[in-house]
Structure 1
Amino acid sequence: MKAQGFRALLASKTRAAGRKAGHWLDIAKYVAVAVAAAVVTLAAVNLTPEPRVIRTIVPHRFDAADPQFVQSMSSYSQGQISGQNAVQTLVNGDEIFPAMLQAIGVARSSIDMETYIYWSGSVGYQFATALAAKAREGVEVRVLVDWLGSLPFDENLIHIMTGAGVRFQRYRPVYWYTLDRVNNRTHRKLLIVDG
């Protein structure tokens, strides 16, 4: 009789423990659904583009080669532009890339390059090898590329540069905890040689 009572007590305790475990599993399911909904909402808010509205139209009064351009840029930037500076208009990669590679080739002390998109293929290889060659010569070379803009990046190009001593960084990699800043990118395209 005592054994049956003990078994009944044990069975009731086991059922109660099972109900408690089931209760916690139900709560865990609701929490998981809430977290998933929050992640989807956060992603939707950050990945939905805002409508682009041009609020100020800047009139195009003169070309970059016009002497008035230098004076205008000086007033916009609140800085002095010296007489030794020159502005040359370069159109598209056919004109831009050779000029950039030439500037890299004559660098003596430093090269700082920042870009949104780093090119894969032959153009990317030309830049990687030119930057690596200057780093091997003792020129301080720093490259900053946007993480999102350089997603289809050939890792071999990174190894070519870093193996030669180039300081290479990606700007704002995206992690789960930075999804709210996924659109904070760098769209600057800078090449500063010996500056």
Structure 2
Amino acid sequence: MLWIIILLILLLMIDFQVGRFLVSKRNNSQSWQTTTEEVELFAEGNSLFEAMIADIEKATESIDIQFFIIRNDRISNQFYTLLARKHAEGVRVRLLTDWVGSFKFRKKWLNQKFFVRKTNPPRFPFFYHLQQRNHRKVLVIDQRISYFGGFNLGDEYVGKDVKLGKWRDYHLRMIGKIGEVMQESFTNDWGFTNKGQIPQTGDIEVLSTEGEVLEKELLDYIENAKETIEIGSPYFIPTRKLAQALMDALARGVDVTILVPEKADHIIAKAAALPYFRKMKEHGATIYLYVDGFFHGKVLFFDRKICDAGTANFDRRSLQLNQELNLIVGHEHPIYHVMRKTFDFDISTSKRMTDTWLNHQPLYLKILSWISIPFRIFL
């Protein structure tokens, strides 16, 4: 039995390395410059889904909706019923989800009441596809109103999970030209490539990434930071290069602040983060623990001048494996202001991580942190 487990681990490692090489050769990452007229940030699920439903109700031409995870529960069925009705009214409805992320996706969603597809289905030889996930979450209505961020579709995202409690996340609603970009991102994932069709002008940079592109992008920002680096993420499992870059930043006097949840929705991911927390603290980083439920937001600030927000976590899966969607804005942009205000509030309601907190973690977590070392590339 042990040799079978060892063989499977070796195959996963080979798959990862070969897949990473192949993706580097045919990388589909893309960037756009665009604008938006209106911006609204949602940090809790009930108000977000209410706004989405209200906008979907008003759709007259098209609805393109994409989530990494879709549950089989009350809120997902509410969306299903609404989308089926809009399709019957003559609105083009396309729904996209990840094969693994929505593995238990109910078959009734595939009954041709509207168009449904799953990305990244397994195929032989796997070479990355077994592990790569489309982690993007996008909703585009009539090519003008767009949503994107960290929320998936399910009751847990409105605080119905007894263990996790309130769900804290960052999701943007935008009106304007950025809707065309979100539409193109969705269309590319759907299977049609329209690169170069959108004018490249504006004060928002949108990044659609896969492979190691996001890691390289963040590495550049971290290495050039002069005063502050702030990171909000549900998981903290940086690549070796990013971990070293953060320690180098601390050594040159940059203040590094990290916000993570105290609760864990994936226990192995929490265990894998413990050694990084300890190392960051030893080098002078300030780490905050979000305690009012589960924190799932994804945001970075550099020198209080640049904001990076979107679907990517600060973990190796998002940085080297997943297909992600992020935007970058300067400090004068409205998106920066709403993200800054919400992040500062979340920091103010969190508690600082102490050495005592680290030292008193359960023994099983400490053991898992060592066991997880060979698997960090998948976390």
Shorter chain as normaliser: what TM range? 0.5 to 0.7
Q: Distance in 1 between matches of 2:129 and 2:7?
A: 16
Q: Does 1:107 align with 2:59?
A: yes
Asked which structure has the greater RCO (Cα within 8 Å, sep 6+), the reply is 1
Alignment of 1:1-195 (within 5 A): 41-45=10-14, 78-81=33-36, 85-159=37-111, 162=112, 164=113, 166-195=114-143
Deviation at 1:177, TM superposition (A): 2.2
Deviation at 1:179, TM superposition (A): 4.9
How high is the TM-score relative to the length of structure 2?
Answer: 0.30
Structure 2 portions without partners, runs of 5+:
17-30, 144-379
Aligned 8 A contact 1:115 1:187 in 2: yes
Aligned 8 A contact 2:15 2:126 in 1: no
Q: Distance in 2 between matches of 1:86 and 1:145?
A: 27
Q: Distance in 1 between matches of 2:44 and 2:121?
A: 28
For the structure 1 residues 157 and 188, does the alpha-carbon distance in structure 2 shift closer, same or farther, using more than 3 Å as the test?
Answer: same
What amino acid sits opposite 1:99 in the alignment?
A
Which deviations, in whole Å up to 9, do the C-alpha atoms of 1:145-170 show, x marking residues without a partner?
011110121222333xx2x2x11000
For the structure 1 residues 158 and 116, does the alpha-carbon distance in structure 2 shift closer, same or farther, using more than 3 Å as the test?
Answer: same
Runs of 4+ with deviation above 4 angstroms: 36-40, 44-47
Deviation at 1:95, TM superposition (A): 1.6
Q: Distance in 1 between matches of 2:9 and 2:33?
A: 45
Paired positions, count: 125
Q: Percent identity?
A: 30
Q: Distance in 2 between matches of 1:179 and 1:124?
A: 32
Aligned 8 A contact 1:43 1:179 in 2: no
Counterpart in the other structure of 1:53? none
**Structure with the higher fraction of residues in helix conformation:** 1
CA root-mean-square deviation: 2.5
Aligned 8 A contact 1:42 1:179 in 2: no
Which deviations, in whole Å up to 9, do the C-alpha atoms of 1:43-84 show, x marking residues without a partner?
24558xxxxxxxxxxxxxxxxxxxxxxxxxxxx953243xxx
Where 2:125 maps in the other structure, the secondary structure is helix
What amino acid sits opposite 2:48 in the alignment?
I
Which deviations, in whole Å up to 9, do the C-alpha atoms of 1:102-160 show, x marking residues without a partner?
1111110001111101122111101111110011011111111011110121222333x
Aligned 8 A contact 1:114 1:145 in 2: yes
More off after superposition, 95-104 vs 170-179: 170-179
Where 2:122 maps in the other structure, the secondary structure is coil
Counterpart in the other structure of 1:3? none
How high is the TM-score relative to the length of structure 1?
Answer: 0.57
Which deviations, in whole Å up to 9, do the C-alpha atoms of 1:81-105 show, x marking residues without a partner?
3xxx211111222121111111111
Q: Distance in 2 between matches of 1:45 and 1:130?
A: 44
Q: Distance in 2 between matches of 1:98 and 1:174?
A: 34
For the structure 1 residues 42 and 128, does the alpha-carbon distance in structure 2 shift closer, same or farther, using more than 3 Å as the test?
Answer: same
Aligned 8 A contact 2:109 2:116 in 1: no
Structure number with greater Rg is 1
Q: Distance in 2 between matches of 1:77 and 1:172?
A: 24
Structure 1 portions without partners, runs of 5+:
1-35, 48-75
